[in-house]
Structure 1
Amino acid sequence: MISIPRKTTQEVDWTTPIRNLIAQSYGENPDNYGAECASLQRCRQDAVRGAGSDLTARDLLYKYFGQLELLELRFSEIRVNFPWHDAFTNKLITQTSIAYEKASVLFQIASTHSAIAASQSRSDPEGLKRAFYYFKACAGMLTYINENFLHAPSTDLSREVVKFLINIILAQATEVFFEKCTDEKKSNALVSKIASQAASMYTSLTEEVKEFMGKGIFDRNWVTLLQIKAKYFSSLSQYYRGLADNTSGKHGDALVRFTQAETLAKDAYRTASSFGAMFVSNMSPNLPPDAGTSISERLKAHQVICIDKKAEATRENDLIYNAILPAFESLPNIEKTAVATPVHIHEIYGTPEVQKTIGQDIFIREACAWRGGES
């Protein structure tokens, strides 16, 4: 699974602009609010420096973004220098609007969600459930960026790049759901539709990524992995539909689908085995260290299953059914079933756990003081 790289940043001085604003706009002594300024400063440092675990990093980012939302309501006119390095080009871009800081922090949250999802053990049902949720939560954060921050100053926040990342993340969520359905032994007809959906999403991504080629934005290993998965899930959809056709007595259709599944599996395995041989993990920090060997082994096992199934179906057709084999092109297309939708940011921030993580407004005391002064 692919996770999204994180942005990096430099120190930010929140204290001076807030002190100036308090003195100029509210006629208060800014020295009275030293503790609050220090608390906000620390809140940002904790959030952007990262933490021991991805879950801790997630909570620190949740808290800082929540405080930014509250701060923006109170100091909408404030200007602070926010320096962020682009996650893909590493170019330093500094802007003074809170909107830029918020979009950058949301990108960090999305990146952290993707890392949590990608690191789950999917051989465990709970791990599958967590991976599915966090991929969808990641897609939700990215969708919110695209809907609310329209003038992207950096490549990583541009509409095209964010849209591409959303599509990768939702394809991976669909893949996780496919694994859940096979683990739970759902019907072959349903599994084939979900595989067909994943195949369609990965195939679209292999087309979309061509727009970015030559620009040096995305890791080339991502591109190869997307190509392998497009063929792999195309093969899986034909294989499971073949099993369903066999069960319903369409033995000729099933054999043709098994033949197609085998062809696609061999093609995918060829690409996966060369990918596995050439993969160097430190060149692709957003892929697992064993990405090369694991995808190659998975495709090898799938190829064996397809070869065996086609051979078995051929024998049975020769000896028992003598079904006429239709042309593959004449078989009905396999329907697709969409299973992964983004989790909206309001759904995440509306939970009591996240509200507790954010805590009360750091500048709550000032709000009371200023309201008292106005009355």
Structure 2
Amino acid sequence: MAFSADRTAAGGLKQACNSFQAAAGAFAFLLDLSAECAAALERLMLAQAQECFFEKVIGDAKAPGLCCKVARQVSLYYEEASAALNSPPLNQHFDRMWISYAQIKAAHFYAEACYRISLDLHEREEIAEEIARLKSAIGALNDSKQFARGVAAPLLDAVNDLEGCLNLNLERALKENDRVYLMRVPQISSLAPLPAASLVKPFPMADILDASKERLFATLVPDNSAKALSRYTQMVDDIIRVQAETLQQGSETASIRLKEMDLPHSILALDGIFSLPADIKEDVEAVLVVGGPAGLDAEFQQLRT
């Protein structure tokens, strides 16, 4: 579910993050895995969940300091996973590509954290530490390239893109220091560790999988009840079909009887819906002119006399 989510959209990013945390909880819950294997897989899932948060803070244009903390925690999770996968007994069972992937990811996000904190340092004109952080990041990426064989191209492209940004910023910082600040660049070992902030945790599977809280068979229907329901449904269908046939027969009989009585045409004619033929209509009007039936009787009497 996490890998199928569209992480370019906010909803998809949230779904992926939640799925990775659920997977971390599931691996920690499984009893048929060794403790070492479960811990390594849990760290991998948490690393990817934290990575989703990093994508979110970058997309939301959060402050470089916060981005640094989130990225550094991604790196720490991958470092822990890499250390577990590269140690006995897991290194005898996992494909080397898994280890390489975790190592490159750890270096990538360590460099990302250095890059983000360097932006903050540049704003505060702490040029010496900025240079030290940038050099440390570039060194980490260069060291990780020894594990690049077999790693997916998109990851290597991301590493190369980040390295390009780091080199550009380092070149700029060195020029500014040589021309303006003239500060001594400290050794990276003398600097405080990069801050980290974990925003993820394994979802507790024990609560989710607790069957005592669910009526697992509440929606199941007993076999005899299902058969009785089927018979009832069939009976209702038969009644509806018989009534429909009776109604159809009655309608046909009524139509025949109406035709025999010249209905409803006669009724419609009386209601004035049908018009009389023109010659008959003229005769009727002539009768009405002489006074209707009474006028005709008077004319008959005159003819007799």
Contact 1:212–1:218 (CA<8 Å) still a contact in 2?
no
2:5 paired with 1:120? yes
Rounded Cα–Cα distance in structure 2 between residues aligned with 1:244 and 1:170:
27
Cα displacement string for residues 181-203 of structure 1 (whole angstroms, at most 9, x for unaligned residues)? 11111111111111211212211
- Name the residue aligned to 1:141: 26
Contact 1:256–1:328 (CA<8 Å) still a contact in 2?
yes
2:188 paired with 1:328? yes
Distance 1:365 1:142, change over 3 A: farther
- Name the residue aligned to 1:360: 218
RMSD: 2.7
> How many residues get paired?
221
The letter for the 1-side match of 2:52 is: V
Residue 344 of structure 1, CA deviation: 2.2
Rounded Cα–Cα distance in structure 2 between residues aligned with 1:167 and 1:141:
12
**Alignment gaps of 5+ in structure 2:** 225-305
2:62 paired with 1:198? no
Cα displacement string for residues 193-246 of structure 1 (whole angstroms, at most 9, x for unaligned residues)? 11211212211222211223553x322211110111111111111111111122
The letter for the 2-side match of 1:208 is: A
- Name the residue aligned to 2:143: 267
Residue 264 of structure 1, CA deviation: 1.6
Contact 1:245–1:254 (CA<8 Å) still a contact in 2?
yes
- Name the residue aligned to 2:155: 295
Contact 1:228–1:268 (CA<8 Å) still a contact in 2?
yes
Rounded Cα–Cα distance in structure 2 between residues aligned with 1:214 and 1:190:
34
- Name the residue aligned to 1:90: none
Contact 2:138–2:163 (CA<8 Å) still a contact in 1?
yes
Provide the TM-score with structure 1 as the length reference: 0.54
Rounded Cα–Cα distance in structure 1 between residues aligned with 2:165 and 2:83:
29
- Give the 5 Å matches for 1:11-90: none
The letter for the 2-side match of 1:297 is: D
Residue 319 of structure 1, CA deviation: 2.1
Residue 275 of structure 1, CA deviation: 2.9
Residue 143 of structure 1, CA deviation: 2.7
Distance 1:255 1:271, change over 3 A: same
- Name the residue aligned to 1:101: none
- Name the residue aligned to 2:167: 307
2:70 paired with 1:212? no
Residue 304 of structure 1, CA deviation: 0.8
Q: Secondary structure at the match of 2:21?
A: helix
Provide the TM-score with structure 2 as the length reference: 0.65
Residue 365 of structure 1, CA deviation: 9.2
Q: 1:176 aligns with which of 52, 75, 91?
A: 52
The letter for the 2-side match of 1:314 is: L
Q: Secondary structure at the match of 1:226?
A: helix
Residue 347 of structure 1, CA deviation: 6.2
Percent identical pairs in the alignment equals: 25
Q: Secondary structure at the match of 2:114?
A: helix
The letter for the 1-side match of 2:161 is: A
Rounded Cα–Cα distance in structure 2 between residues aligned with 1:361 and 1:221:
46
Rounded Cα–Cα distance in structure 1 between residues aligned with 2:88 and 2:122:
41
Rounded Cα–Cα distance in structure 2 between residues aligned with 1:189 and 1:355:
45
Q: Secondary structure at the match of 1:242?
A: helix
Cα displacement string for residues 145-166 of structure 1 (whole angstroms, at most 9, x for unaligned residues)? 3xxx4xx4xxxx3332222211
The letter for the 2-side match of 1:119 is: S
- Name the residue aligned to 1:164: 40
Distance 1:232 1:214, change over 3 A: closer
Give 1 or 2 for the bigger CA radius of gyration: 2
The letter for the 2-side match of 1:137 is: A
Distance 1:362 1:330, change over 3 A: same
- Name the residue aligned to 1:342: 202
Residue 169 of structure 1, CA deviation: 0.6
Residue 326 of structure 1, CA deviation: 1.5
Rounded Cα–Cα distance in structure 2 between residues aligned with 1:125 and 1:256:
35
- Name the residue aligned to 1:318: 178
- Name the residue aligned to 1:22: none
**Alignment gaps of 5+ in structure 1:** 1-115, 277-291, 367-375
Contact 2:29–2:206 (CA<8 Å) still a contact in 1?
no
Residue 267 of structure 1, CA deviation: 2.7
